[in-house]
Amino acid sequence: MIYHIAEAKEWDAHAQDDQYVPERYAGEGFVHCAEVRQLEGVADLHFRNRRDLLLLEIDPTLLDAKTTYENLDGKGEKFPHIYGSIDKAAVQRSVPIECNEDGLFAGVFERAL
């Protein structure tokens, strides 16, 4: 499984669609994802103080779009990127998540999964 942290309002806007594409896709050309071990670091870096998020658990074998593991920041760690929309049939579950009182995500993903 791979995971995507989505804004709840964006996910809800695609409620009737078979596909989900976050707004950032237009500018970046891919959907950012992470492995479970990478989630806390990603959330702390990009979603600090957010309480309006969903964690999408995605089975990459059910995606029509290509998933590639890449190191784009030069730090050596590879992250899964989806080059296309996310087929909703590939989303095994969506779980609301929010930061802790300190604005960070320690323990949040262990409780969500």
Q: Which domain holds residue 22?
A: 2-112
What's the confidence (pLDDT) of residue 73? 74
Could you tell me the pLDDT band of residue 56, with boundaries at 50, 70 and 90? very high
What's the confidence (pLDDT) of residue 46? 94
What's the confidence (pLDDT) of residue 72? 79
| Token couple for 59 | 């089975």
- What is the reported pTM? 0.94
Does 74 have pLDDT greater than 80? no
Does 16 have pLDDT greater than 80? yes
Own/partner contacts of 18-23, CB < 8 Å, gap of 24 or more, are 18/87, 18/88, 18/89, 19/85, 19/86, 19/87, 19/88, 20/56, 20/85, 20/86, 20/88, 20/91, 21/85, 21/86
Mean pLDDT of 60-86: 92
Share of the chain above pLDDT 90, in %: 95
Average pLDDT over the chain, rounded to whole? 95
Give the domain CATH number at 102: 3.20.170.20
What's the confidence (pLDDT) of residue 8? 96
What's the confidence (pLDDT) of residue 13? 94
* Residues contacting residue 107 through CB under 8 Å, at least 6 positions apart: 100
Domain count, the chain: 1
